[in-house]
Chain A
Amino acid sequence: MMIEALIAVALIGALVTFVAPNRVAGKLAFAISLVPAAISLWLFATFDGSGNALLEGTLAFESQYEWIQLGEYSISWFVGLDGISLPLVVLTTVLTSLAIMSSWTPIDERESQFYGLVLFIEANLIGVFVALDFFLWFIFWEAVLIPMYLLIGVWGGPRRKYAAIKFFVYTNVASLLMFGAFIALVFGLGDAVTSFALPEVADAMVNGEGIQQTLFGLEPTTLASLVFVAMFIGFAVKVPVVPFHTWLPDAHVEAPTPASVLLAGVLLKMGTYALLRFNFTMFPEQVETYAIPIAAIAVISVIYGAMLALAQTDLKRIVAYSSVSSMGYVILGLIAYTQFGVGGATFQMVSHGLISGLMFMAVGVIYNATHTRLVTDMSGMADRMPVAVGILIAGAFGYMGLPLMSGFAAEYFIFFGAFGADFDYAPIFTGLAMFGIVLVAGYLLFALQRAVFGPYSLETDYEVSRAPLHDLAPMFVLLGLIIALGVAPDLIFDMITDAVDPILEGGDS
């Protein structure tokens, strides 16, 4: 029941906040958001699951109720947690609370609506990570679009309307493609499955016969490959993976800081999480078949994304493109299909969530004071806002994968896992992708040098002063978490690997 409580609190909180008066909305929303955070931490503490949720693992906090009988297929409310989803749930709740606090300063109109939407998005994000029935999962997956569309559209930057609609339509098209593919998969499995419950489908794919039917005049194997590719593309848009990434920078740049935090911190993880849950859990054979092209895509995402970041002058754009780059590492880790690879990829999801969140907050805090994000417009900000800049620098080094910060752990796991991967030329691909760590240092340090160092200069008609404490507090929390995970990755890596192993064993069988 705890999971239901988690979602319910967020939903009700959203409604309450939505009707609350504007001036109290921020504080109220923060107070409310602490409840899910607390619950999720409690779940984390008392987690007793083992194995993979989709592959006969023992779920924690599981609950299932019949919902709809659609012909011979049953749809149910089916939620549960395993070592992969729990860290992401905690990430979501914690990040939401921090994002809410970080938006006290920048959000100065229609507050109650804003915070209501943030809580609403939190509810759906949690749902995405806990849902184990395809339709239930898909509801949450799609429902995320609405609040994000409005968050970007209402409180965003100058080109917010374009960015919002682009994000909305682009990702939705991808969802439709993926949906069709999955349904085809279910039909392809024929009588092997009688419901849309993901564990059942995964079981039929991995331990069962796999796709047996000949659909649309396609041989089972062809069908499986097509479904795999279609779903991969569908999720690739959400991740995003080059060349499906162009909605991301627009959305990031135009979105208000807290929205960016959630977007980069959690929404992108939906894509990689789905990839892991669907493609990489249900299609072990195809994963091996398509290892080379996917690895190539991963490398391209890393390098190309980094190159794009290098060409930007807008701090947010830089971070946005670097997200593309970082997500490339995740893909690399997933395709490696080794314990450290897939586990590292999952770890990177959490790590990148924290670090990119921190970066966006720091950039946001500076933006609050300067009202510009162009590194060319400002210089020597360290002189006026030492603490904020200090955190920005810390975050930047986290992004570069500085040891003893979570980013390094994640990247190292992925590299190590990918280097020893089974597919051909794995070391080469790893080596190429690793060059990203040089490029990332390049563009981040270049931006820092221009924006925060050097003699102070910024055209403002007011005095730029230090950031208020409630802007800094969330960043300190994040920094603490980043370092904690960097020093002690086993805080979550144990449970992750525990949930990852069954996937890989499925690959062998």
Chain B
Amino acid sequence: MIGVEYYVLLSMAVFCIGLVGVLTRRNALTFLMSVELMLNAANINLIAFAFYHGNLTGQVFALFTMALAAAEVAVGLGIILVLYRNFRDVDVTVPTTMRW
């Protein structure tokens, strides 16, 4: 069977991809997706470790995480909506009325 460390490496990779997405993408929606990637990286970990530790806590927690991600996206979309209404754009670097 495959050692847990490989799962960890995979999740880390996914996490980093998400991170890079967050840092490079200016589109709010892409930003959101990147965050989702990071969350799923966490899920990979949780499930892998659940298996590894032989208890279900991790898997249950993964479910929570997904639900949570969904809620987050819901709120996020709402905000992105009003963002577009006010700034006519979904570029996250546009709104800079407040700085320093």
Q: In the complex, is A directly touching B at CB under 8 Å?
A: no
